[in-house]
Amino acid sequence: MEPIVQISLDLTTIADALAMAEVAVEAGVDWLEAGTPLLLGEGLHAVAALRKAFPDHPIVADLKTMDGGYLEAEMMAKAGATHVVVMGVAHPATIRAVVRAARDYGIRVMGDIMAAPDPVACARMMEANGVDYIIVHTGFDERGEDRARTPYDHLAEVAAAVNVPVQAVGGLSIDQAADMPRHGAPLVVIGAPLVIDKREFRPSTDREALQAILRRFVDRVKANKTEE
């Protein structure tokens, strides 16, 4: 598949998320992610606000669902999400429930294999249960305790093991993220807020600089080719 750029709106207020999303969309970003901090801070209202402001853009709700799969996916779909995230370490019944809700409401499911003891087996299990995408994710706290950990630890093996598109997230530099299509992960994520060259960019400051950085990132990703 052709590379897709997704911005993770890991902000805590709707106002900040909308401002950052506006900059990202102007820069050519394809998908908007209502990050977990945003969903914790604003809930369904954040998804609804993004849908209203950006009616034509896919919206990923990063719920990290562990239980109550059908209801959580249903709620996010009704609020305007086009994609929801379920955890691979959840019970397979939960994964199947999320997939069932997604089919009922015409949305897609992303399966996050973070913390799975066997990432390849987890990815295969999720694909077998109907998940549309696999996320190879090295967690924030995990990286905090072991800075050597990255998605590269499992990415090649997972990408080779499944037939659905793969995304890699967690501790990647901007250069590494832009190169992900060459490693079999065409769904590329860039985080927001962004820290670049030890400078923190937020939507209220340095808008032009932030937009230029995002535009260059989008261009780099689109120029890459996914390894078959």
Instruction: Give the CATH number of the domain where residue 151 resides.
Output: 3.20.20.70
Which pair of tokens denotes residue 137?
């994710």
- Kindly report, residue by residue over 189-218, the tens digit of the pLDDT: 998 767 665 566 666 567 888 899 999 999
Range of the domain at 169: 4-223
Residues 6+ apart with CB under 8 A from 185: 136, 151, 155, 159, 166, 167, 168, 226
List % helix, strand, coil for the chain (3-state, nearest 5): 45, 20, 30
> Which pLDDT score is estimated for 38?
96
Cα–chain-centroid distance for residue 91? Answer: 21
Q: Is residue 228 part of a domain?
A: no
How, if at all, do strands 187-192 and 4-9 pair? parallel
86 with 69: CB under 8 angstroms?
A: yes
> Omega of the bond prior to 119 within 30 degrees of 0, cis?
no
- Kindly report, residue by residue over 31-90, the tens digit of the pLDDT: 999 999 999 999 999 999 999 999 999 999 999 999 999 999 999 999 999 999 999 999
Bridge partners (DSSP) listed for residue 123:
none
User: Which of 66, 67, 65 has its CA nearest to residue 84?
Assistant: 65
Q: Is 145 exposed, middle or buried (0-12, 13-18, 19+ CB in 10 A)?
A: exposed
Q: Is residue 45 part of a domain?
A: yes
Which pair of tokens denotes residue 151?
């998605």
Single pTM value for the model? 0.94
106 with 132: CB under 8 angstroms?
A: no
User: Which of 86, 81, 25, 24 has its CA nearest to residue 49?
Assistant: 81
User: Which of 94, 92, 83 has its CA nearest to residue 51?
Assistant: 83
Instruction: Please tell me the total count of domains within the chain.
Output: 1
Q: What is the rounded distance in angstroms from the CA atom of residue 156 to the CA atom of residue 85?
A: 21
227 — pLDDT class (breaks 50, 70, 90): low
> Which pLDDT score is estimated for 207?
87
Cα–chain-centroid distance for residue 23? Answer: 18
